[in-house]
Amino acid sequence: MTQLNVAMIGHQFMGRAHSNAWRQLPRFFDVPFEPVLSTLCGRDPSSVEKAAHQLGWNDSATDWRQVVRSPDIDVIDICTPGESHAEIAIAAAEAGKVVLCEKPLANTLEDAERMFAAVSEAGVVHMLCHNYRRAPAVCLAKELIDAGQIGEIRHFRGVYLQDWIVDPDFPRVWRLEKAKAGSGALGDIASHSLDLARHLVGEISAVSGLLETFIDERPLEDGSGRGVVDVDDAALCLVRFENGAIGTIEGSRFCPGRKNYNRFEINGSKGSLVFDLERMNELEFYEEVGPTSGFRTILATDPEHPFVQNWWPPGHILGYEHTFTHTIHDLVCAIDSGELPTPNFGDGVVNQRVLDAIARSSESRQWEEI
């Protein structure tokens, strides 16, 4: 079987998740290529070397430009913060590599568009990693919608709630700096809800947004004083979809007890669907079937559920990390088939366009068209 040589840039949280996915893929799935974890790239020589060993990479490097140009590498997997995505992805495209980019595609719409142009022009396979699309329960939701089982969609209600910055003494980390993170809850978590909305319901035509920062100054991490929080702590919006559905999307990190509560409810003319990432193996589904109608909790762990038969028997649940393995599975299949996987950089551009409109609307205090 042909090998697929992968280099990954970045080795923090997302780097660990992607590494695991590359490692696990061939252990559980029959794929057309055998991924080789060739090179892990990071800034600091000693920490990237240590990470490479821990995460199972053959080699480590510190100069991403060199890695990107290396003829031995087939795939560039970008796991750095958003600010550097554009530069790396464009160079990778120009070098003819397959590019997988962790979300958000970029911190600005301009960068996202440049990236999409670059991969399109280069004709390389590109994919954006919005891993939650590939939780089996979400895949099942998509199947049910596509099969018409909830009818014409009327409502989408998406929230992504966490609580890790409720404490005002929590430090001003990079995710709270606009220069590095682009935005706050909006790009970090509301963007996941948005991506699921587009995936499951359709394109958004207009938004009314509200961004709010509750704590505008926090202690610096190095203890040297206090720094400004210039991103949103919470992002809310009303949305109109092109197909006539309406909805709400919200992200906040100020919700005590909500650890990773990425929840959506979709109501159609014939049924409803509810998903909650904290119980990601379950999908709630309602259809009208007379006196025994009720929301059913589908434990999406049966062999007929997407991706499941390659793992464990029914009722043996999957975890967070499996969603990345499924994502990379589909990327590897796409490399083989030549069909562009989704979401890809084109989706990244559209997502960014909507996020931009939400921010703009919060300023203008009126609806903004996409």
Q: For the segment 221-280, give every residue that binds its own copies (CB under 8 A).
A: 234, 236-238, 240, 244, 246-248, 250, 252, 254-261, 265, 267-272, 277-280
Q: Does 50 bind its own copies (CB under 8 A)?
A: no
Interface with its own copies in residues 56-75 (CB under 8 A): 56
Closer Cβ to its own copies, 124 or 201, answer by number: 201
The correct pick among 49, 59, 287, 336 for binding its own copies (CB under 8 A) is 287
What sign has the CA pseudo-torsion 238, 135, 339, 102? Answer: positive
In the complex, least distance from residue 79 CB atom to its own copies, rounded to whole angstroms: 14
Tokens for 140, please give them.
Answer: 């099942």
The contact mask relative to its own copies for 308-337 (x = CB under 8 A, - = no) is ---xxxxxxxxxxxx---------------
The rounded distance, in Å, linking the Cα atoms of 60 and 74 is 16
Tokens for 29, please give them.
Answer: 């799935």
Closer Cβ to its own copies, 308 or 331, answer by number: 308
The rounded distance, in Å, linking the Cα atoms of 358 and 131 is 23
In the complex, least distance from residue 208 CB atom to its own copies, rounded to whole angstroms: 5
Closer Cβ to its own copies, 8 or 349, answer by number: 8
Q: Does 142 bind its own copies (CB under 8 A)?
A: no
Q: At what angle do helices 109-122 and 85-94 cross, to 10 degrees?
A: 10
In the complex, least distance from residue 106 CB atom to its own copies, rounded to whole angstroms: 23
For residues 204 and 240, is the Cβ–Cβ distance under 8 A? Answer: yes
> 270: buried, middle or exposed (CB in 10 Å: 19+, 13-18, 0-12)?
middle
Omega within 30 of 0 (cis) for the link into 71: no
The correct pick among 299, 333, 340, 370 for binding its own copies (CB under 8 A) is 299
Closer Cβ to its own copies, 92 or 274, answer by number: 274
The contact mask relative to its own copies for 350-369 (x = CB under 8 A, - = no) is --------------xxxx--
How many chain residues interact with its own copies (CB under 8 A)?
Answer: 93
In the complex, least distance from residue 290 CB atom to its own copies, rounded to whole angstroms: 8
Q: Let me know the angle formed at the C-alpha of 312 by 319 and 160, rounded to the nearest 5 degrees.
A: 20
The number of residues in the chain equals 370
- Cα distances from 268 to residues 87, 133, 155, 262, 274, in angstroms, run 42, 20, 7, 20, 12
Q: How far is CA 69 from the centre of its chain?
A: 26
Closer Cβ to its own copies, 19 or 352, answer by number: 19
For residues 41 and 73, is the Cβ–Cβ distance under 8 A? Answer: no
The correct pick among 294, 339, 360, 363 for binding its own copies (CB under 8 A) is 294
The contact mask relative to its own copies for 102-141 (x = CB under 8 A, - = no) is --------------------------------------x-
For tokens 């509750």, the residue is 214
For residues 359 and 210, is the Cβ–Cβ distance under 8 A? Answer: no
Nearest to 244 by CA among 311, 319, 177, 152: 152
In the complex, least distance from residue 190 CB atom to its own copies, rounded to whole angstroms: 13
In the complex, least distance from residue 161 CB atom to its own copies, rounded to whole angstroms: 8
Interface with its own copies in residues 148-207 (CB under 8 A): 149-150, 154-155, 157, 159, 161-162, 164, 166
